[in-house]
Amino acid sequence: MEIEIIALLFFISIFIALLSGYPVAFVLGGLSIWVGWWLTPDFLDFLPLRVMGTIQNYVLLSVPMFIFMGLVLEKSGIAEGLLVTMSRLFGKMRGGLAISVVLVGTMLAASTGIVGATVITMGLISLPIMLKSGYSPKLATGIIAGSGTLGQIIPPSVVLILLGSVLNVSIGDLFKAALIPGIFIALAYIVYILILSVWLPKQIPAPSTADQMPLKANKKDIMLTFILPFSLIVLVLGSIFFGIASATEASAVGAVGAILMAVFKQKMDATTLKNISFETMYLTSMVFMILVGATAFSLVFRGLGGDKILVHLVESNALTKVQFLVFVMVVIFIAGFFIDFIEIVFIIIPIVAPIFAKFHFDPIYIGILVALNIQTSFLTPPFGFALFYLKGVAPAEVSIKDIYKGVIPFIIIQLFILLLVALLPNILNLL
């Protein structure tokens, strides 16, 4: 059997195994080492060096820091306070509750970057109120799920950090480039809500004072609710954008700042800190175990000549750089229906990155397009993670079918922004 066919079968078998439900890290690592042991034993000699080189990547140290920061804001109730306060401020206008969910989703994205935490928090607090106020289950769940995924593109995003390590580009530059598209998506959500409130008022119920979220706080408390998270955002992102600190250093500042904020609001105790630390360890271990498995896969796949096969396919079919870009974007979008963003970053991107480099694409441009594309994977049925996060906390009357239908307009909005950035790359240079 020709080595090219073996490489293709190896890739297909990995993809099928990922759909089996077996832990991703062990699928990638176990199958890769087994195939490499039989077919490319010389390449496996480089595996320890590759793994240690990856684990010692200073940039990746920011991953547990940003995860910790996000969990502190969620578990300490700061995120809940934001949502309740914003609802009161916008509750007097038609669609105000929906707009408040989008705005809070944007702020949480800029301070946590964790989709699960954002979706669950907003689902628990705002979904019952939206349903009681007269929002349809489809619209309410679509708004919450769509807003919750903003953490995948608005920095500090774990996706951007992982993409930066794979593409070997500055995390700070990726953060700068991603902020504008992320804000565009949030604004597009708000415009969509305003259009519905004018053209289809039955979709957006009139505000009712009785249905607004209760808020027992004076103006000073309201200001503190906004100022503290906003200050943390400025501190973290500002230090990166102005070159004061690297992404890793800024993540440490953010983690400490989140703890001080929680202590100031008297929301932190030993038990909470222990739970946050344990969950941070769990999520970080998951990411790095997948990274180790993906490193083994990448090494064996290249040992089988898989990267050369892709180059040959591109050259033999005379694909232009634009055609290849479209092809990869379609593949990533379809893959997002079935596998997690971490697998996409660690499996697909290392394979296609050399070809993008050969076509002289700007890696920042590619990184942002991939991040925007991956963001849709959290919303696309059947396995979009945001959909299941939301279903897990939704009332019994909200069906998974309602959630699937509700996210469709927001997937379309995200794809529109993706196309806009692809056609107008100078948007990424605004900062």
pLDDT tier, 292 (very low <50, low <70, confident <90, very high otherwise)? confident
Mean pLDDT of 321-341: 86
Q: How many CB atoms lie within 10 A of CB 208?
A: 12
Q: How far apart are CA 381 and CA 400, in angstroms?
A: 10
Please tell me which residue, 219 or 352, carries the higher pLDDT value: 352
Q: How far apart are CA 406 and CA 107, in angstroms?
A: 22
Per-residue model confidence as pLDDT tens digits over 146-201: 998 888 888 888 889 889 988 989 888 999 999 999 999 999 999 999 998 888 77
Per-residue model confidence as pLDDT tens digits over 207-243: 665 445 444 555 666 667 777 788 888 888 888 888 8
Please tell me which residue, 247 or 421, carries the higher pLDDT value: 421
Per-residue model confidence as pLDDT tens digits over 369-395: 999 998 888 888 766 778 877 887 788
pLDDT tier, 4 (very low <50, low <70, confident <90, very high otherwise)? low
pLDDT tier, 113 (very low <50, low <70, confident <90, very high otherwise)? low
Who contacts 213 (Cβ-Cβ below 8 Å, separation ≥6)? 83, 84, 87, 88, 91, 125, 126, 129
Q: At what angle do helices 171-199 and 96-109 cross, to 10 degrees?
A: 180
Position 211 scores a pLDDT of 45
Position 182 scores a pLDDT of 93
**3-state DSSP percent of the chain in helix, strand and coil, to 5:** 80, 0, 20
Please tell me which residue, 276 or 108, carries the higher pLDDT value: 276
Position 261 scores a pLDDT of 85
- Mean pLDDT, the chain, whole residue set: 82
Mean pLDDT of 263-287: 86
Q: How far apart are CA 384 and CA 373, in angstroms?
A: 13
pTM metric for this prediction? 0.80
Q: How far apart are CA 78 and CA 229, in angstroms?
A: 8
pLDDT tier, 112 (very low <50, low <70, confident <90, very high otherwise)? low
Which of 85, 54, 76, 55 lies closest to 255, judged by CA?
76
**Residue appearing with tokens 């079935």:** 338
Please tell me which residue, 49 or 417, carries the higher pLDDT value: 417
